[in-house]
């Protein structure tokens, strides 16, 4: 594969989509903030596509731009943001819509579940009202009908004692229950795309697994596409169809989960995988931690942003930014010295699956258009 100049990545459907118009197509998304006289390039050219009913995981450290890119889709960024590029939802351009037009999409087409349910729910409003508010935002239902729908949603997210919980306040619920309520709110108007922005980060591991299972089940039942934003590669490996890895506002690797973990290319992804604790390492062995810090987004050096910390970095890495191209079929990356397939890479896949308890995707009802079965 030649890696000459920067080309607009021509995204083709890969690994199983039925082709046709993708649900979401993001092209060269860039988001810039001007804050306190400094410019922050939070997202620097992000492109991907998502088919209906599939789950895309966007993985990155905090500050990599993953949350910002998703909020840009929904128009939820503060007024200091300057957005460019394209994001087409079912063929319609989302960027640059007026606030009023954007409101029609929010909730009804795209919904979001946020990280911290204790802060994302209004503490002085009953949870039932917060759900019916979402229901009635896009449908003129009577109070009774809205109530019924809200209770139905609470059952859908498997919240016990739904009728009673309807009248309760957020602080009367546990963290996991609050997150279920958040999911119920997000699903209220039947969106086709659900963005889970670090939805399980604030929860303990057990609850995290439960919520992920719930999301999975909902995806299969409602055929909702999900974008899962996280820093947890293990989650991505266990649940996502496709994975994008972001660093310093850029996508650095993009492939189906199977492909990515089986054939890691980008050293950054490799480093992330390597840092997951493994049971077969000798006890008290040091974790291979990548030295250094993510770069300051107001003062990005030329070349690849990961170069200062990269164990494979060469001279050209520090001078010229590698293009993000489809170097292999269905596998994009941005690197001058990608990793080769080694034993280490295969081990990494085992690690990931072992680390998450070897959980696999359930077969159940195959989502529309997917030809992939359960991963081994």
CA distance 220 to 364: 8
The residue among 181 and 257 lying less far from other proteins, judged by its C-beta, is 181
Q: Scanning residues 307 to 336, which ones bind other proteins (CB under 8 A)?
A: none
Residues, the chain? 376
Q: Which of 112, 202, 228, 313 binds other proteins (CB under 8 A)?
A: 112
Q: Scanning residues 41 to 60, which ones bind other proteins (CB under 8 A)?
A: 42-43
Q: Which of 122, 315, 320, 342 binds other proteins (CB under 8 A)?
A: 122
Q: Which of 24, 46, 51, 114 binds other proteins (CB under 8 A)?
A: 114
Give whole-number Cα distances, 114 to 13, 194, 203, 332, in Å. Answer: 29, 11, 12, 28
Single out the segment in contact with other proteins by CB under 8 A; choices: 143-151, 172-180, 267-275, 341-349. 172-180
From the number of C-beta atoms within 10 Å of its C-beta (0-12, 13-18, 19+), residue 57 rates as: buried
Coil, helix or strand at residue 55: strand
Q: State the nearest-atom distance from the C-beta of 376 to other proteins, in Å.
A: 28
Could you write out the DSSP letters of every residue in 9-45? ------TT---SS-SEEEEEEEEEEEETTEEEEEEEE
Convert residues 236-255 into a mask of x (bound to other proteins by CB under 8 A) and - (unbound): -------------x------
The answer to the question of residue 294 lying near other proteins (CB under 8 A) is yes
The answer to the question of residue 200 lying near other proteins (CB under 8 A) is no
Q: State the nearest-atom distance from the C-beta of 20 to other proteins, in Å.
A: 27
Q: State the nearest-atom distance from the C-beta of 102 to other proteins, in Å.
A: 8
Do β-strands 81-89 and 193-197 pair in parallel, antiparallel, or remain unpaired?
A: unpaired
Q: State the nearest-atom distance from the C-beta of 182 to other proteins, in Å.
A: 7
Q: Scanning residues 209 to 238, which ones bind other proteins (CB under 8 A)?
A: 210
Could you write out the DSSP letters of every residue in 219-248? HHHH--EEEEEES-HHHHHHH-SEEEEEET
The answer to the question of residue 297 lying near other proteins (CB under 8 A) is yes
Q: Scanning residues 249 to 288, which ones bind other proteins (CB under 8 A)?
A: 249
Single out the segment in contact with other proteins by CB under 8 A; choices: 167-175, 229-237, 263-271, 315-323. 167-175
Q: State the nearest-atom distance from the C-beta of 306 to other proteins, in Å.
A: 15
Q: Which of 1, 10, 19, 123 binds other proteins (CB under 8 A)?
A: 123
Q: State the nearest-atom distance from the C-beta of 289 to other proteins, in Å.
A: 18
Coil, helix or strand at residue 89: strand
Name residues whose C-beta falls within 8 Å of residue 236's C-beta, 6 or more positions apart in sequence.
57, 59, 228, 230, 243, 257
- Return the closest-CA partner of residue 170 out of 121, 103, 135: 121
Q: Scanning residues 22 to 41, which ones bind other proteins (CB under 8 A)?
A: 33-38, 40
φ, ψ of residue 278 to 5 degrees: the values are: -120, 145
Q: Scanning residues 63 to 102, which ones bind other proteins (CB under 8 A)?
A: 63-65, 67-68, 71, 74, 76-81, 99
Q: State the nearest-atom distance from the C-beta of 310 to other proteins, in Å.
A: 19
For 321, the token pair is 């930014």
Q: Residue 130: enclosing H or E segment and its boundaries?
A: helix 127-138
Max Cα–Cα distance, the chain, nearest Å: 67
The counts of H helices and E strands in the chain are 13, 12
The residue among 150 and 237 lying less far from other proteins, judged by its C-beta, is 150
Q: State the nearest-atom distance from the C-beta of 312 to other proteins, in Å.
A: 24
The residue among 280 and 299 lying less far from other proteins, judged by its C-beta, is 299
Q: State the nearest-atom distance from the C-beta of 34 to other proteins, in Å.
A: 7
- Return the closest-CA partner of residue 262 out of 277, 248, 243, 276: 243
């Amino acid at each position: 594969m030649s890696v000459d100049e920067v080309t607009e990545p021509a995204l083709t459907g890969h690994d199983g989509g039925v082709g046709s118009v993708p649900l979401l197509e993001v092209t060269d998304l860039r988001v810039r903030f001007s804050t306190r006289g400094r410019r922050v390039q939070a997202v620097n050219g992000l492109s991907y596509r998502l088919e209906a009913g599939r789950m895309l995981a966007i993985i990155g450290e905090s500050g990599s731009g993953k949350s910002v890119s998703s909020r840009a889709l929904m128009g939820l960024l503060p007024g200091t943001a300057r957005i460019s590029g394209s994001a087409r939802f079912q063929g319609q351009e989302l960027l640059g819509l007026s606030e009023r037009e954007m409101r029609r999409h929010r909730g009804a087409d795209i919904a979001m579940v946020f990280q911290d349910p204790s802060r994302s729910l209004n503490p002085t409003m009953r949870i039932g009202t917060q759900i019916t508010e979402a229901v009635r935002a896009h449908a003129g239902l009577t109070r009774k009908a809205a109530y019924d729908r809200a209770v139905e949603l609470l059952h859908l997210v498997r919240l016990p004692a739904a009728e009673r919980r309807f009248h309760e306040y957020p602080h009367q619920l546990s963290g996991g229950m609050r997150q279920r309520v958040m999911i119920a709110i997000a699903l209220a108007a039947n969106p086709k795309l659900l963005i889970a922005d670090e939805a399980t980060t604030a929860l303990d591991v057990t609850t995290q697994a439960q919520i992920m299972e719930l999301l999975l089940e909902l995806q299969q039942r409602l055929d909702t596409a999900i974008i899962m934003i996280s820093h947890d590669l293990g989650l991505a490996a266990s649940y996502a169809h496709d994975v994008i890895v972001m660093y310093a506002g850029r996508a650095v690797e993009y492939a189906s989960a199977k492909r990515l973990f089986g054939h890691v290319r980008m050293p950054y992804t490799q480093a992330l995988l390597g840092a997951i604790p493994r049971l077969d390492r000798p006890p008290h062995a040091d974790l291979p931690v990548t030295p250094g810090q993510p770069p300051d987004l107001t003062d990005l050096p030329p070349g690849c942003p990961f170069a200062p910390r990269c164990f494979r970095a060469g001279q050209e890495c520090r001078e010229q930014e590698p293009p993000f191209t489809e170097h292999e079929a269905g596998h994009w990356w941005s690197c001058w010295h990608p990793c080769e397939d080694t034993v280490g890479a295969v081990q990494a896949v085992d690690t990931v699956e072992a680390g998450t308890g070897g959980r696999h995707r359930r077969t159940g009802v195959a989502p529309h258009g997917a030809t992939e079965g359960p991963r081994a």
